[in-house]
């Protein structure tokens, strides 16, 4: 018996048999080619598509990279390839609006062409993410480098929020340079790439001035895009109330919502109460984003906030080499935390698909309407005993975990954990 890493093929077969409910392909199917009007049919899954108000069993047909039809039942014979999603969750491809993917080998360049950022394709599809927004890696000076180096070479849909600092997120002194924060030039660059540059980012500024925030808002106003702010690092801290109620506009994004870091007032005070102006800001339309990261997600903040009716608007990772190897790990791990904190799955999916699409003004994404790009993910909810680590770091125990089975990017299989989209090897014709 052939052995692979100590596991017999027989064992693998039975393991796959148990994991993969049904696996079908059109190979050997009796239907005529003419009847096969769709490239792919995903059938029998629980479709959660918040934009369209769908949470129920649906079949989805895909043709030429787009969603062709969503219906309660379509015959297998209409498709060239069939994926059985029985017992699984089918959703729009996830949109992570806080990631750092401007990777490169520039010495000391941190998240702007440096080694702390990650290559998107290595970390997205395996967890159902089809779109990431790099927030602040590039500024107007080096966006072209980011585009040619990363965006144009990635299968993942990579969007950008330009740093208000012209040279981007290169760390240390460069991010403190007020002279390199130019609203007009930032907006000009953003307007050259509508839909690709979807916002302006402010981060890491430690001085006592409001200029970086206000210049980012000005750039956002000129370019017609939201800004995202990573607030903090000020000594003494600047007023969070002023930021949320006076400086940010409706639609602007406050990331790291459940952080408690030196130099920033947390949204949950030391009496475990969510500050009233956070509710007021939400009413004004300010968006509260998770941005978990390596130091910005505390259960001590998130749990009281959720109990008091202050969930995040959008769920995101703040993906970089530090966070992915610590408590954050990946998008599904962050979503699983909210699942175990009692948030309903459809709500978690909405905050990871349709809501972020709206926040970045890309309403063509984040849903599976007929005609939409077939960016899609299939998940399983695993039950068992799991541990989830925050950035304190401390651990929360949980009983559920989301796992990705399959990811499609514009109709193409970009990830398939257990081969549910493939025929059995015995049914593949020999090469000759
Ligand atoms: Zn970040």
pLDDT tens for each residue of 374-425: 999 999 999 999 999 999 999 999 999 999 999 999 999 999 999 999 999 9
Report how far ligand 1's centroid is from the alpha carbon of 112 (Å). Answer: 11
pLDDT digits (tens, 9 = 90+) for 312-336: 999 999 999 999 999 999 999 999 9
Q: What mean pLDDT is predicted for residues 105-116?
A: 92
Higher-confidence residue of 315 and 25: namely: 315
pLDDT at 110: 92
Report how far ligand 1's centroid is from the alpha carbon of 100 (Å). Answer: 6
Report how far ligand 1's centroid is from the alpha carbon of 58 (Å). Answer: 36
Report how far ligand 1's centroid is from the alpha carbon of 256 (Å). Answer: 8
pLDDT at 172: 76
Q: Which of 174, 248, 238 is nearest to 214 (CA)?
A: 248
The yes-or-no verdict on residue 108 having pLDDT over 80 is yes
pLDDT at 431: 86
The yes-or-no verdict on residue 41 having pLDDT over 60 is yes
Report how far ligand 1's centroid is from the alpha carbon of 336 (Å). Answer: 20
Report how far ligand 1's centroid is from the alpha carbon of 293 (Å). Answer: 7
pLDDT at 236: 83
pLDDT band at 34 (very low <50, low <70, confident <90, very high): low
Q: Which of 221, 157, 168, 223 is nearest to 190 (CA)?
A: 223
Q: Residue 343 contacts by C-beta under 8 Å, 6 or more apart in sequence?
A: 306, 311
Report how far ligand 1's centroid is from the alpha carbon of 428 (Å). Answer: 45
Statement: the pTM of the whole predicted model exceeds 0.85:
yes
Lowest mean pLDDT among 100-114, 124-138, 317-331, 385-399: 100-114
């Amino acid at each position: 018996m052939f052995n692979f890493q100590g596991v017999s093929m027989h064992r693998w077969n039975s393991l796959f048999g148990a994991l993969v409910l049904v696996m079908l392909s059109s190979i050997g199917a009796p239907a005529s080619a003419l009847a096969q009007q769709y490239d792919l049919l995903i059938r029998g899954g629980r479709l959660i598509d918040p934009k369209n108000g769908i949470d129920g069993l649906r079949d989805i047909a895909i043709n030429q990279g787009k969603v062709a039809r969503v219906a309660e039942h379509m015959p297998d014979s209409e498709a060239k390839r069939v994926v059985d999603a029985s017992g699984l969750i089918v959703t729009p491809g996830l949109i992570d609006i806080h990631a750092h993917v401007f990777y490169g080998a520039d010495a000391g360049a941190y998240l702007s062409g440096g080694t702390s950022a990650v290559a998107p394709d290595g970390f997205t599809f395996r967890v159902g993410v089809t779109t990431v927004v790099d927030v602040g890696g590039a500024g107007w000076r080096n966006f072209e480098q980011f585009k040619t180096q990363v965006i144009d070479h990635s299968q993942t849909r990579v969007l950008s929020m330009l740093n208000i600092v012209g040279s981007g997120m290169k760390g240390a002194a460069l991010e403190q340079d007020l002279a390199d924060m130019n609203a007009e030039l930032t907006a000009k660059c953003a307007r050259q790439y509508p839909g690709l540059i979807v916002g302006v980012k402010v981060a890491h500024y430690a001085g006592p001035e409001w200029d970086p925030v206000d210049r980012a808002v000005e750039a956002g106003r000129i370019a017609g895009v939201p800004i995202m702010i990573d607030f903090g690092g000020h000594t003494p801290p600047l007023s969070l109330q002023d930021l949320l109620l006076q400086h940010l506009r409706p639609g602007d994004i406050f990331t790291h919502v459940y952080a408690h870091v030196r130099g920033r007032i947390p949204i949950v005070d030391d009496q475990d109460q969510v500050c009233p102006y956070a509710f007021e800001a939400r009413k004004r339309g300010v968006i509260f984003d998770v941005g978990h990261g390596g130091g910005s997600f505390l259960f001590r903040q998130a749990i009281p906030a959720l109990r008091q009716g202050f969930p995040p608007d959008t769920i995101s990772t703040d993906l970089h080499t530090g966070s992915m190897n610590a408590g954050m790990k990946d998008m599904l791990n962050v979503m699983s935390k909210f699942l175990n904190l009692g948030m309903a799955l459809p709500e978690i999916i909405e905050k990871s698909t349709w809501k972020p699409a709206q926040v970045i003004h890309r309403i063509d994404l984040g849903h599976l309407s007929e005609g939409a790009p077939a960016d899609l993910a299939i998940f399983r909810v695993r039950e068992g005993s799991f541990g989830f680590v925050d950035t304190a770091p401390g651990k929360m125990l949980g009983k559920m975990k989301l796992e990705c089975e399959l990811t499609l990017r514009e109709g193409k299989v970009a990830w398939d954990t257990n081969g549910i989209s493939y025929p059995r090897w015995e049914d593949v014709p020999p090469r000759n």
